[in-house]
Chains A and B, each alone.
Chain A
Amino acid sequence: MAEWFVAKASDLPDGDRRIVTAGRHEIGVFRAGDAYYAYSNTCLHSGGPACEGLLINRVVDVIAPDRTYQGQTFADDLHFVCPWHGYEYDLKTGECVGDRKLKLRKYEVVQRGEDIYVIA
């Protein structure tokens, strides 16, 4: 395992990301608020660049207390979407939201002063 430089913290604002090739690992490193998340950039579906697509909030059906459907809206939690076919992953866990048994490999991110590193 080694630490691979990702970016200066000031160069990676909220909502931004980097794709890091760390030896034989290709990793997407995301910043969301003050947190960093890093996952394998290989989609569990057909191997697409899972971390290189849209960041978008989870869509939810609005069901009223009487169980009637009231439309759709966005929830607070954020997904990233594989741009090849639309497989969505939970940004905080790397779980595939269509089947949460499936998870992208997660990598640890560390900050040393201003520098952000991913461990792979």
Chain B
Amino acid sequence: MDMPRSEVRKLRFDEYSATKHLEHATRQAHARNYQDFLIVDVDSHHYENESYKEVFSYIDNPVIRRAAIESTKRGGRSSMMNSQVGYQDLGGRITRHELRKYEKVPSDVHRDIAMTKTWMDAMGVDYTCLFPTPMLFLGLHPQIEIEVAMAQGYNRWLCERILAAEPRLVSMLYLPFNDPEAAYRTVKEFGERKGVVGFMVTSPRYKPVHDNAYVKTYALLEEMGKPISFHAAYNWNDQSLQMTNRFISVHALGFMWFNMVHMTNWVINGLPERFPKLKVMWIESGLTWAYSLMQRLDHSYMMRTSDCPSLKRRPSEYMREMYYSTQPMEVPEDPSILEATFKMINAETQLCWSSDYPHWDFDLPSVIYDLPFLSEKAKRNILGGNAGRLLGLDPTPVKKLP
């Protein structure tokens, strides 16, 4: 029997437990019976900068490796890596960013694995696709060889220290896209490693996706059956985005902007016709951008087919065959607007839930589960079935709700 409880707690800001922080999420998980079906999170993060000393030791190039390791000696910051202005923790209002350092984990497991599994269980997640955090901006590094070296070192570290040790963690590895040959080598070297379920391009960068230099990488990915994904972020130094003066503005626009450019180039240049079996996923742009871009491109296409003669169908038809991650899912007050968006992108088979945890605007599975217009089957597809099939994961739930 569920007895009424009586308890009084004092709050403490000198200790932290993700299990406690997410206690309300665990209640949601129990109430919605998440233990009964697969939940896959296609986009979550760790803070690889907390493991820079380990990561840098995996860099092959001896000169860059030494410079990178030396750079970690100066107060925890690394002068090898670029960054972006961005007060994502809302001036301390998102308390987990500061407090997570107090989380206690077992000493015999890598801290990233222990911390990730803790929040996964608290939310009801079976598998998560883990991505880095500061490296989301690495495509903007002025030195291409640093992007290449860091991608190589990080990917090897991730495979050997994290993915090899924990089957519930998978990843789409970082592609050093500014060097097309290095991107190809990355797929060749890591494509069959344990836990590698695809490859990821960080979207803020200035290389067009339709460049012929990438064709052999796309062909290899298509042959291997591994998806390519484009993970959104922003560049506040972009000439247009420089005009925005608040983080809310650069975030709202920036996380859509680069994926809108890449998607437009991808479709208009006929890449879906040239690589019809290549699976493509768009991550962390929310959903409204796709709803808008489909209509925009279709409208112009009918008048300007000569601009994109490779296309045999409307742009939206190609876009409807791609995959989308949910977060940060815009939830309008009128649910019919969201329902139309789901219909537009064929959500029941193409949409994959993502948390983006532990970042500031994370989503819980309930953002999908509680939608009034979805059937139980559609909810389960979006929360895990679609991603499970796309990434080749065992559909049996393995989570352990606290």
Q: Give A residues with C-beta under 8 Å from B.
A: 4-7, 16-24, 42, 46-49, 52-54, 56, 81, 83-86, 88
Contacts and interface: CB of A to CB of B under 8 A. Distances in A.
B7 to A, nearest CB: 4
A16 to B, nearest CB: 8
Q: Which of B93, B360, B364: most chain A CB closer than 10 A?
A: B93
Contact of A47 (B21, B24, B93, B362): B24
B261 interface: no
Contacts of B5: 21, 23
Given A19-B8, A46-B363, A85-B360, 8 more contacts: A7-B8, A16-B10, A20-B7, A23-B5, A24-B4, A47-B364, A83-B95, A86-B90
Interface in B84-98: 90-96
Contacts of B96: 83
B57 interface: no
Contact of B93 (A20, A46, A54): A54
B95 A53 contact: yes
Contacts of A85: 94, 360-362
B23 A21 contact: no
B367 interface: yes
B303 interface: no
Interface in B349-395: 360-364, 366-367
A81 B360 CA distance: 13
A86 B363 contact: no
Contact of A86 (B4, B25, B28, B93): B93
A76 B58 CA distance: 52
10 contacts: A18-B8, A19-B11, A47-B25, A49-B23, A53-B95, A81-B90, A83-B93, A84-B362, A85-B94, A85-B360
Contact of A83 (B25, B94, B366): B94
Contact of B7 (A7, A21, A42): A21
A56 B8 contact: no
Contacts of A5: 8
A50 to B, nearest CB: 9
Contacts of B28: 47
Question: By DSSP majority rule, is chain A's interface helix, strand, loop, or mixed?
Answer: strand
B7 A83 contact: no
A19 B94 contact: no
Say which size band chain B's interface belongs to. 20 to 34
Nearest to A23: B4
B8 A23 contact: no
B11 A21 contact: no
Interface of B: 4-11, 21, 23-25, 27-28, 90-96, 360-364, 366-367
A6 B154 CA distance: 50
A92 B121 CA distance: 36
Contacts of B366: 46-47
Q: Which of A19, A42, A84, A86: most chain B CB closer than 10 A?
A: A84
Contacts of A49: 21, 23-24
A46 B364 contact: yes
Contacts of B361: 85
B6 A4 contact: yes
B24 A23 contact: no
Contacts of A22: 4, 6
A86 B90 CA distance: 7
A41 B96 CA distance: 17
Nearest to A5: B8
A19 B25 contact: no
Given A53-B93, A54-B95, A18 B9 contact: yes
B92 A23 contact: no
Contacts of B27: 47
Contacts of B7: 20-21
A12 B178 CA distance: 57
Contacts of A21: 5-9
Contact of A20 (B8, B25, B95, B363): B8
B268 to A, nearest CB: 36
Contacts of A52: 11
B251 to A, nearest CB: 12
Contacts of A6: 8
Given A19-B8, A46-B367, A56 B93 contact: yes
Contact of B21 (A4, A17, A83, A86): A83
Contacts of B23: 49
B111 to A, nearest CB: 22
Q: Which of A4, A17, A47: most chain B CB closer than 10 A?
A: A47
A18 B7 CA distance: 10
B300 to A, nearest CB: 36
A20 B5 CA distance: 9
Nearest to B96: A83
